[in-house]
Amino acid sequence: MTPPVRSPLGSRSATIGANCGAILAATRVAALLLTLAPASIVAQPPRQPASFVITGARIADGTGAPLRAASVRVQGDTIAAIGAITPRPGEPVIDGTGMVLAPGFIDTHNHSSSGIEVEPAAVSQVSQGITTMAVGPDGSSPWPVGEYLQRLRAKPPTVNVVTFAGHATIRREIIGYDYKRQATPAEVARMAALVTQAMNEGAFGLSSGLEYEVGSYSATDEVITMARAAGAKGGIYTSHIRDEADLAMDAIREAITIGEQGKVPVQITHIKLGTVGVWGKANEAVAMVEAARARGVDVTADAYPYLAWQSTPRVLIPNKRYTDSASVRRGLDDIGGARNVQITRWGAHREFVGKRLDEAARLLGVSDIEAYIRFQGDEESGMIGHAMTEADLRLFYRQPWVMVASDGGIANNHPRGAGTFPRVLGQLVREQQWMTLPEAIHKMSGMPAARLGLRDRGTLKTGMKADLVLFDPATVIDRATFEQPRALSTGIHRVWVNGALVWTGTAVTDARPGRVLSRQ
């Protein structure tokens, strides 16, 4: 095997791409996380029993099948039996009366690659039922992949982890700071070789963030070559597409082309229509994906249950003329005005965090355009764009090829970081009835497991690993808001990872049973 390539740029390479949560540098993440999980919410679990039985619950098995009543025995890290079970003498019994027991939720798009090393308890994740997270999305990933995974094996977290190799991370490894151009054929070949290296070290595929600074300069053929290298090793290609705004249809078409020509399964991540000009056109996007699937292209998507996205303010200006007044005006108009820009980070004006850009402009005594120019020029800037429609999101979620993913993570300043999965169960299923409960569980467990190739997780069957969520379907709901984005959800009563209890309903335990998972 080729020795791992180490970045001459140090930890900077792991943050390229300015992901949808605008990844913080590891040191800043550490500072934020010191206050995230106070000792008062860590519970000491009883000694891990050799086996236990969960009785009284209805089972959502992750396949989309109707709920059914059954008991479940867990032996070690495995589901040993399902059905009418008589507990053994002295065997612990968990009463699940009134609850639903489901496979642990698998988040295929999670921004916790650095956060999980700093806060391995992952409180905001396990409290919403996540038992497996896929990190390294949007083209930005840990590097080298093998060294990162080895650190997680040495210091296991609460949840299972898989990682992708980042297109932008690898691009910077080869091109360095001269990335504002197309790569040469020789450079593309070297980048493809690094994809192969990452796959050999345990990556599940290639991720890209083609809307972001480093990835945006790449030609489609470059990405096809790199995605093909991932597919050759059994991986998939997942992408924050090149545009989620006025040019979204072209960007979806490009993602399909990459999958088709690269002969690799493709996932359009956090599928959305994020500007006024494309509102109401979800049917066109759906038709395009359906046509591709009909001709044999393996394309799927994921979505989070919020009408606002999170990113860097620079994504508002596709032509990259960030200080040009006319370009800024068009960008702000596309999102519905400065009132739809909510500030999540602004290093020079921390007092504006949580405020809308139009309010910040008034407080500064400048125009919306000038406020934006100052905002985007700050290296510590991040925003939430309130620029999606419920009708579009509903149509996407009702497609059988769209699964649930958070695009959140530990210490995330968007409510999706702490609330995604309970929000789907509480609001979209129970209150708004966009889908049935079994359908939602399938989109959170069985479908993402199949997409990642995890054959021993994602469904509740005998012989599968015991990643389990016990929740109350009548009360489960998110509590995170745009003003309080890290408030924990309620209604998730128990979470087990590899058979070990990690969430008691009010607190994490001190168990750290998470594993680095492998392609199967």
Q: Does residue 135 sit in the same domain as residue 161?
A: yes
State the Cα–Cα distance between residues 434 and 416, nearest whole angstrom: 18
288 lies in the same domain as 361: no
In a domain, 321, yes or no: yes
Range of the domain at 235: 10-37+105-307+389-435
In a shared domain, residues 423 and 377:
no
- Which of 435, 469, 498 is a domain's end point? 435
The answer on 412 and 290 residing in a single domain is yes
pLDDT tens, residue by residue, 223-278: 999 999 999 999 999 999 999 999 999 999 999 999 999 999 999 999 999 999 99
pLDDT in tens, 426-445: 999 999 999 999 999 999 99
- Could you tell me the pLDDT band of residue 322, with boundaries at 50, 70 and 90? very high
pLDDT at site 48? 80
- Does 255 map to a domain? yes
288-298 pLDDT, tens digit per residue, is 999 999 999 99
- 485: left (phi > 0), else alpha (psi -120 to 50), else beta? alpha
Q: Are residues 220 and 152 in the same domain?
A: yes
pLDDT at residue 16 is higher than 80? no
* Section 112-131 average pLDDT: 98
Q: Is 257 helix (H, G, I), strand (E, B) or coil?
A: helix
pLDDT of residue 204 exceeding 90, the answer is yes
pLDDT at 520: 76
415 and 269 part of one domain: yes
Is residue 460 in a domain? Answer: no
Q: pLDDT value at position 504? A: 97
Identify the helix (H) or strand (E) that includes residue 95. strand 93-95
Q: What is the per-residue pLDDT for 327?
A: 97
Q: Which two tokens stand for residue 120?
A: 């391995």
Q: Is residue 25 part of a domain?
A: yes
pLDDT value, residue 43: 61
pTM above 0.85, yes or no: yes
What is the overall mean pLDDT for the chain?
92
Q: Are 88 and 74 in contact (CB under 8 A)?
A: no
Give the model's confidence band at 10: pLDDT under 50 very low, under 70 low, under 90 confident, else very high. very low
Which pLDDT belongs to residue 49? 87
pLDDT digits (tens, 9 = 90+) for 22-75: 333 333 333 333 333 333 356 655 578 899 999 999 999 999 999 999 999 999
Asked whether residue 501 is assigned to any structural domain, the reply reads no
What would the pLDDT profile of 370-404 be if each residue is shown by its tens digit? Answer: 999 999 999 999 999 999 999 999 999 999 999 99
Mean pLDDT (whole number) for 18-24: 38
Q: Count structural domains, the chain.
A: 2
Higher pLDDT, 14 or 446: 446
Q: Does some domain include residue 209? A: yes
Claim to verify: residue 111 and residue 137 sit in the same structural domain: yes
User: Where does a domain end: 400, 419, 435?
Assistant: 435
Nearest Cα residue to 467 out of 160, 161, 202: 160
Tell whether the model's pLDDT for residue 119 goes beyond 90: yes
Same domain as 164, residue 249: yes
Q: State the CATH number of the domain containing residue 359.
A: 3.30.1490.130
Q: In CATH, what number is assigned to the domain containing residue 175?
A: 3.20.20.140
Contacts for 196 with CB less than 8 Å, ≥ 6 apart:
229, 232, 233
380 CB contacts (<8 Å, ≥6 apart)? 345, 346, 347, 348
Residue-wise pLDDT for 323-353, tens only, equals 999 999 999 999 999 999 999 999 999 999 9
For residues 201 and 345, state if they share a domain: no
